[in-house]
Amino acid sequence: MSRKARVVVVGGGLAGLSVTMKLAELGINVDLVSLVPVKRSHSCCAQGGINSVNNLTRQLGDSEWKHFEDTVYGGDFLQHQPPVKEMAEWAPRIIDLMDRLGVTFNRTPEGFRDQRRFGGTLYPRTAFAGATTGQQLLYALDEQVRRWEFAGRVKKYEFYDYLGPVLDENGVCRGCIAQDLVSMEITALPADALVIASGGCGLIFGKSTMSMSCTGSAASRTYQAGVRYANGEFIQLHPTAIPGADKLRLMSESARGEGGRVWVPRRPQDPRPPEEIPESERYYFLEERYPKYGNLVPRDIATREIFNICTKEGLSVEKDRLCVYLDVTHLPTSVLERKLGGILEIYQKFQGVDPRRVPMKIFPAVHYSMGGLWCDYERTAEGGLRIGSPRNHQTNIPGLYAIGEVDYQYHGANRLGANSLVACIFAGLISGPGIVQLIESQRRLAAEHPGGIFERVVEQKRKEFEQLLARPSDGENPYLLHKELGEVMTKAATVVRQNPELDQAYEKVCELEERARRCALADRGRWTNQNVVFTRAVQDMYPLAKVILRGARLRDECRGAHYKPEFAMPEITASDAAERRRQAIEWCEKFEANNRRWLKTTIAEFGPDGHPIISYEDVDTSLLPPRPRLYGVVGGEIIEQVWQERQFARV
Amino acid sequence: MIRSTSNNNERRLPEELGLQDGKFEVRVLRQDGPGQPSYWQRFLVPYESDMNCISVLQNIAAIARTAEGVPTTPVAWECNCLEEVCGACTMLINGRVRQACTALVDRLLRDRPGVIELRPMTKFPVIRDLVVDRSRIFETLKRVKAWVPVDSYLDLGPGPRQSQENQEMAYVLSKCMSCGCCLEACPQYLRIELTRREGESAEEFERRKQEVYHRAFIGAMGIAQIDLFNTNPIGRMNSTERLEALIAEGGIQVCGNAQNCVRVCPKEIPLTTSIARMGRAATLYMLRKWFDR
């Protein structure tokens, strides 16, 4: 490999670091661009763990195929299946690798890695390091990248803002433009491939469980430059977050994985302290409604149930603030300390209440973007991915890649807990060799590209920066505009979605976008100007907000995290056996008709007028035929039976 | 009487918190850039329940006016996760080094009614306001080779089996988020602030900075990281390299045993235990070196 080949990676979380270390190992020089020192990336917030089939679950009947199946079923069949299958197959090897890299996974008394059970599966597949697994995985990769930095193969650009890709006259990506957030200097970083690994876009919803760097600005700038955005409307809410003034802090699914129970007092707003409410007067609504999965139903379902019990059923613990109890007080001290210490500490630190003694109060919050930049893959005949294919994770712009939460490939309509960490690391490891192949096939490296293209774009970005600084000082306040956007998005596009509300929200967002063009800066300096960074990020939230709203508006169905009551599937209401069967047949027909219409990837392209142009793409479901997702559906047994008969009749 | 179980269970009266017209004062020690003089600025922030120092700074950014009503630039500060796992928002709050996200306004005002004081860390060069240059911490991680030098990232099976005891010890050390609290509190960890010389390129300056950093004290976090990687079953194979860093200029011998570090660590890492253990390891290593000569 030519020593001059360079790759720029934008984002230093799990995905960005894993592709960086893999590329460095393969002999490629990497420039790593990040808003924050990479060790402080948002991946550190992931708490619960990382999934894979393991020696223990294998003996319970588990396999890579079942991990794949749970992921696809949990995601309501919206993901292309080959990448998911490949990921599930790599997962055990990824955890082995992370183990070798020094991740402090919890151990059994015999010294093996310990595992726990997470949502949407019946097997204890989740390896974990206390309750800060994301932090521990992030640190292990950060250390490896530092090792390569020490060896001179990686150069970090920390405190840099990515302003957009640079495309040549043929529409091929040749690098990107970035701004030093200390000196505010704007520079071009030529690259033979550009990898966007910038994470989620939770800040579009104002407050979420995401970190302050998760503005979606890198994704938005890449989308505005011509990369398609897929399944934008699929936003995961985490069922259990701690409400706060500045942030909604995550309370990990592991609290339920280790036996935590969700409940509300049967008497609305029972004034007694929770520990004085007897068992019989507590409503463990998830356990009662979903006997098979109990508190570990998939996240979209837990979220909806908690939301409904507080709103529709009026059983919120508090009157003014919606919340339910998440109770771990019955668990043995050893479990609390050894396995949940980290997250319980967070609750105590931020709420001033000891969750070991008093049940926690929690409510759903925006948590993860299943959708993201569209990217490709190359399928093998067996239904996996061709290792080393330059198509793996390449977007529709040649030379431009998307990996991690910012891609859309693995989680479909709903992500299973503890699958994001494995997906991020996998995306980095699988895309690395493909990028090397791409570079080897190129005749000319970016550094040798005839000048002009970089200078032009740098000049343009400098001009935009100057214009931003020169705005009149009496304009709109970017912080308030962001707050307003968050309120609109949270109201219209989270747990429950209604078409009229989505239409109104779209109009409102367009209006806010217009107002944001008149944002005034309180700081016009040219040194560490955080005002500029924030204002620019807010401006870039609107195009993505429109993608989310438009996608949600058009998708007239319920799938995973996208829930429109108007288009919900009917329940089986009859008690007479024949009538039940008839209803179930009707149900199955409706289900199939709906899939023909909506089992499709939403594709948004940035239109010339700033509005997204929406189209749909078929989903590769060739490995596992779509079937009804029947967690807790009323009449699920008869639907299941009729469904099986129909499948059998078809063969 | 019904016992209150609301989240911030002890609701405070305005007088108790020293509020005036529902507001409290925030004093920020500001600095426009490296080498510039620092100056105090006062802000009045409307009190809300459940506030922390992050929402205080967000509020100041949104108002962008001093207590006197004069327009000013928003205070620059660093933050990311707001859950005290990333380490970004470290600063001096009422004189104590800590993360702004876990500094709850109710508690601060209860201890000192009416006023909150924010200052940048003093052991690192100020970039602007509360933002300091902590790159020296990451240089320390390079210097002590805080990584497991695996053969490759290919599939070579699982890592070695480990006892629960070993995992628990390693996990505690591995929670270090490179925030710098232990360094701020350490009497032996001295501030290094270099300026670019005339005619010196950015790369040359960077190299010179690294050289100076690599000779200065590694601090408690550096020593604890050596402990972490030298007890890792694979990391141990390269323990000599880290022991060399431990006894080199700026190594463990600089530690004056003030034990401030362990008191300020937000993750409650037993830093002094690591220092003691590494002190013994350093002595043994030096003896061994001496005998092997």
For A89-116, what is each residue's pLDDT tens digit? 999 999 999 999 999 999 999 999 999 8
- Which domains does chain B carry? 14-128 (3.10.20.30), 134-292 (1.10.1060.10)
H or E, element range at A342? helix A333-351
Choose the CATH number for A471-554 among 1.20.1440.130, 1.20.58.100, 3.40.50.11540, 1.10.3720.10.
1.20.58.100
Asked if A21's CB is within 8 angstroms of B167's CB, the reply is no
Asked if residue B58 lies in contact with residue B86, where contact means CB atoms within 8 angstroms, the answer is: no
Asked if the model's pLDDT at residue A2 lies above 60, the reply is: no
User: Which 3 state secondary structure label does DSSP give A175?
Assistant: strand
H or E, element range at A644? helix A636-650
At residue A285 the predicted structure's pLDDT band, cuts being 50, 70 and 90, is very high
Nearest CA-CA distance, residue B291 and chain A, Å: 32
A180–B contact, CB cutoff 8 A: no
A332–B contact, CB cutoff 8 A: no
Asked if B164's CB is within 8 angstroms of A109's CB, the reply is yes
- The pLDDT, as a whole number, for residue B13 is 64
- The pLDDT, as a whole number, for residue A449 is 73
Smallest Cβ distance to B167: which of A107, A139, A352?
A: A107
- The pLDDT, as a whole number, for residue A340 is 86
Asked if B32's CB is within 8 angstroms of A525's CB, the reply is yes
Asked if the model's pLDDT at residue B8 lies above 70, the reply is: no
Predicted TM-score (pTM) of the model is: 0.95
* Alpha carbons B212 and B192: distance in angstroms, whole number: 8
A527–B contact, CB cutoff 8 A: yes
B174–A contact, CB cutoff 8 A: yes
- The pLDDT, as a whole number, for residue A221 is 98
Of B47, B49, B60, B86, which to mutate for an interface test with A (greatest number of A Cβ within 10 Å)? B86
B188–A contact, CB cutoff 8 A: no
* Alpha carbons A516 and A217: distance in angstroms, whole number: 15
Asked if the model's pLDDT at residue B60 lies above 60, the reply is: yes
A-chain residues near B153 (CB < 8 A) = 21-22, 25, 97, 144, 429
User: Which 3 state secondary structure label does DSSP give A185?
Assistant: coil
A-chain residues near B141 (CB < 8 A) = 143, 146
Count of Cβ atoms closer than 10 Å to residue A645 Cβ: 14
Could you write out the DSSP letters of every residue in B185-228? T-TT-------PPTT--HHHHHHHHHHHHTTS--HHHHHHHHHH
Range A573-579 average pLDDT: 94
Asked if the model's pLDDT at residue A459 lies above 90, the reply is: yes
Asked if A40's CB is within 8 angstroms of B177's CB, the reply is yes
Which of the 8 DSSP states describes residue A274? G
Asked if the model's pLDDT at residue B27 lies above 90, the reply is: yes
Read off the pLDDT of residues A58-93 as tens digits, 9 standing for 90 and up: 999 999 999 999 999 999 999 999 999 999 999 999
B-chain residues near A139 (CB < 8 A) = 174
Nearest CA-CA distance, residue A312 and chain B, Å: 23
Which CATH architecture fits A239-363?
Alpha-Beta Complex (3.90)
Asked if the model's pLDDT at residue A368 lies above 60, the reply is: yes
Smallest Cβ distance to B161: which of A111, A149, A244?
A: A111
Closest Cα partner for A67 from A51, A80, A55? A51
Query: If phi over 0 gives left and psi between -120 and 50 gives alpha, with beta otherwise, what is residue A385?
Result: beta
A319–B contact, CB cutoff 8 A: no
Percentage of chain B with pLDDT > 70?
95
* Alpha carbons A192 and A51: distance in angstroms, whole number: 33
Nearest CA-CA distance, residue A10 and chain B, Å: 17
- The pLDDT, as a whole number, for residue B12 is 57
* Alpha carbons A428 and A402: distance in angstroms, whole number: 9
Show me where the domains of chain A are located.
Answer: 6-234+370-453, 239-363, 471-554, 574-600+620-650
Range A121-133 average pLDDT: 92
B-chain residues near A37 (CB < 8 A) = 88, 134, 138, 178
Read off the pLDDT of residues A557-571 as tens digits, 9 standing for 90 and up: 999 999 999 999 998
A152–B contact, CB cutoff 8 A: no
Q: Report residue B192 as tokens.
A: 């290094």
Read off the pLDDT of residues A503-548 as tens digits, 9 standing for 90 and up: 999 999 999 999 999 998 999 999 999 999 999 999 999 999 999 9
Asked if residue A10 lies in contact with residue A33, where contact means CB atoms within 8 angstroms, the answer is: yes
Asked if residue B124 lies in contact with residue B191, where contact means CB atoms within 8 angstroms, the answer is: yes
Read off the pLDDT of residues A159-183 as tens digits, 9 standing for 90 and up: 999 999 999 999 999 999 999 999 9
Q: Report residue A528 as tokens.
A: 């560490």
Could you write out the DSSP letters of every residue in A562-618? B--GGGPPPP----SHHHHHHHHHHHHHHHHHHHHHH-EEEEEEE-TTSSEEEEEEE
Q: Which residues 556-585 of A are in CB contact (within 8 Å) with B?
A: none
Asked if B168's CB is within 8 angstroms of A244's CB, the reply is no
- Fill in the amino acid letter for A262: V
Nearest CA-CA distance, residue B204 and chain A, Å: 15
Range A288-310 average pLDDT: 92
Degrees (nearest 5) of the Cα angle B226, B228, B232? 115
- The pLDDT, as a whole number, for residue B50 is 84
On the CB side of A52, CA atoms within 13 Å amount to: 25
Asked if B153's CB is within 8 angstroms of A429's CB, the reply is yes
- The pLDDT, as a whole number, for residue A119 is 80
Pairing of strands A193-196, A6-10: parallel
Q: How far is CA A154 from CA A145, A147, B131, B141, in A?
A: 7, 9, 25, 15
At residue A632 the predicted structure's pLDDT band, cuts being 50, 70 and 90, is confident
Asked if the model's pLDDT at residue B14 lies above 80, the reply is: no
- The yes/no answer on whether domain A6-234+370-453 falls in CATH 3.50.50.60 is yes
Measured distance between the N- and C-terminal CA atoms of chain B, rounded to whole angstroms: 78
B167–A contact, CB cutoff 8 A: yes
Asked if residue A109 lies in contact with residue A338, where contact means CB atoms within 8 angstroms, the answer is: no
Q: Report residue A591 as tokens.
A: 């289900």
* Alpha carbons A610 and A224: distance in angstroms, whole number: 9
Nearest CA-CA distance, residue A107 and chain B, Å: 5
B-chain residues near A45 (CB < 8 A) = 81, 83, 85-86
Q: Which residues 381-440 of A are in CB contact (within 8 Å) with B?
A: 429
Asked if A102's CB is within 8 angstroms of B73's CB, the reply is no
Of B3, B43, B82, B166, which to mutate for an interface test with A (greatest number of A Cβ within 10 Å)? B82
Of B7, B131, B145, B168, which to mutate for an interface test with A (greatest number of A Cβ within 10 Å)? B7
Asked if residue B14 lies in contact with residue B23, where contact means CB atoms within 8 angstroms, the answer is: no
Q: Which residues 94-123 of B are in CB contact (within 8 Å) with A?
A: 101-102, 104, 107
Nearest CA-CA distance, residue B34 and chain A, Å: 10
- The pLDDT, as a whole number, for residue A631 is 81
User: Which 3 state secondary structure label does DSSP give A263?
Assistant: strand
A-chain residues near B48 (CB < 8 A) = 245
A-chain residues near B174 (CB < 8 A) = 102, 104, 129, 136, 139
Asked if B141's CB is within 8 angstroms of A100's CB, the reply is no
A183–B contact, CB cutoff 8 A: no
Count of Cβ atoms closer than 10 Å to residue B151 Cβ: 8
- The pLDDT, as a whole number, for residue B3 is 36
**What are the residue numbers of the active site of A?**
299
Asked if A273's CB is within 8 angstroms of B5's CB, the reply is yes
At residue B1 the predicted structure's pLDDT band, cuts being 50, 70 and 90, is very low
B276–A contact, CB cutoff 8 A: no
Read off the pLDDT of residues B188-227 as tens digits, 9 standing for 90 and up: 999 999 999 999 999 999 999 999 999 999 999 999 999 9
